[in-house]
Amino acid sequence: PYGARTMAARYRGESLVVGDVVTDPGFSDAERDAWSAAGVRAAIVATLAKGGRLVAEFGLHCTGPRAWTDAE
């Protein structure tokens, strides 16, 4: 429910950076609702995938929008 685009990227081992799920055009209304229900408005996630399988991830969620820096 958190977004086909974001989940596909995570299964490829790509980092996820979302500054504001409410204004990001890559999310549908249903996906925004899922993020909101989880109390997340912004997120940054580092993933580890092996062979198309999501093995682990480490992330930080924010309840409000956030302009992530390159250092973060």
Q: SS3 for the chain, per residue?
A: CCCHHHHHHHHCCCCEEECCCCCCCCCCHHHHHHHHHCCCCEEEEEEEEECCEEEEEEEEEECCCCCCCCCC
The pLDDT value recorded for residue 54 is 85
The pLDDT value recorded for residue 38 is 93
The pLDDT value recorded for residue 35 is 92
pLDDT in tens, 7-53: 888 888 888 899 999 999 989 999 999 999 999 999 999 999 888 78
The pLDDT value recorded for residue 1 is 77
